[in-house]
Amino acid sequence: MRIVSWNVNGYRAVLKKGFLDWLNACGADAVLLQETKVEPDQLAPEEREPEGWQAVWNWSKKKKGYSGTACFLRKPPLSHSFGLPGDEFRGEGRTILLELPDFWLFNIYFPNGQMGEERLDFKLRFYDRFLEYAQELRATKPVVVGGDFNTAHTEIDLKNAKANEKTSGFLPVERAWLDRFAAHGYLDTFRLFEPGPGHYSWWSYRFNARKNNAGWRIDYFFASEELRGRVRAAWIEAATEGSDHCPVWVEIADQ
């Protein structure tokens, strides 16, 4: 199964940049989108559910044009649900959980902590509740999570590590949570294949950052340890534009 995740930074914006052509040519079985910033009823039918795909949408009920996630699938999931347990983490459209035949698949747009201490605290609580929930689900079948984690894990996951040590997205407390997540037996699938620096999934629109490849790797696929032998490939589609993020991929062999 080939799965791709992409923070599109506005679904309607990326539609104007050839998204549907990309979608139908990409060869994925499942497409996970974050930061869609739209409600389905604002879209034409062929945009809401492109031909040949089954769509699942989750959007912000708290603020129009904010956050949001969507999944396009070639085959329908066994089930789907929204949000994390607990009212605190619902309402921003950040999470879609798909039950597939042999694993759970999360599409998550994790919060950004750059708007101040209160929002950073919310991000860290969101991280913790997600891990608790993933562990609960993992008792029944393996877990795969794709999305924008809004944190670069190690120094090789961003271009200018030293300059960003006090910036949310690379704070020690955020990176420590990713350490803890990995210690629970979740594999950064990209790092199973590529140990080196210089691979990013997000670039600022300023300072010619993308042209100079001065980016951050904050978009990931993690898979629980039980799937290690079935992860066949993971890669970053850095050449695809249309957003300040690019698509990231994982391929998992069928059971």
- Is 102 a residue of the active site? no
Question: What was the pLDDT predicted at 116?
Answer: 84
User: Where residue 234 sits, what CATH number does that domain have?
Assistant: 3.60.10.10
What tokens were used for 128? 């913790």
Domain that holds residue 97: 2-252
Question: What was the pLDDT predicted at 18?
Answer: 98
Question: What was the pLDDT predicted at 169?
Answer: 97
Order of strands, sheet of 219-224, starting from the edge strand that comes earlier in the sequence: 79-82, 95-99, 104-109, 143-148, 219-224, 186-188
Instruction: Please give the tally of structural domains in the chain.
Output: 1
Choose, from 102, 128, 148, 157, the residue flagged as catalytic. Answer: 148
Question: What was the pLDDT predicted at 156?
Answer: 98
Q: What are the C-alpha distances in Å from 152 to residues 110, 158, 160, 188, 234?
A: 12, 7, 11, 12, 17
pTM: 0.98
Determine which helix (DSSP H) or strand (DSSP E) holds 132, and give its type and residue range: helix 117-138
Q: What are the C-alpha distances in Å from 204 to residues 109, 195, 212, 248?
A: 18, 23, 11, 17
pLDDT tens series, the chain, 255 aa: 999 999 999 999 999 999 999 999 999 999 999 999 999 999 999 999 999 999 999 999 999 999 999 999 999 999 999 999 988 999 999 999 999 999 999 999 999 998 789 999 999 999 999 999 999 999 999 999 999 999 999 999 999 999 999 999 999 999 999 999 999 999 999 999 999 999 999 999 999 999 999 999 999 999 999 999 999 999 999 999 999 999 999 999 998
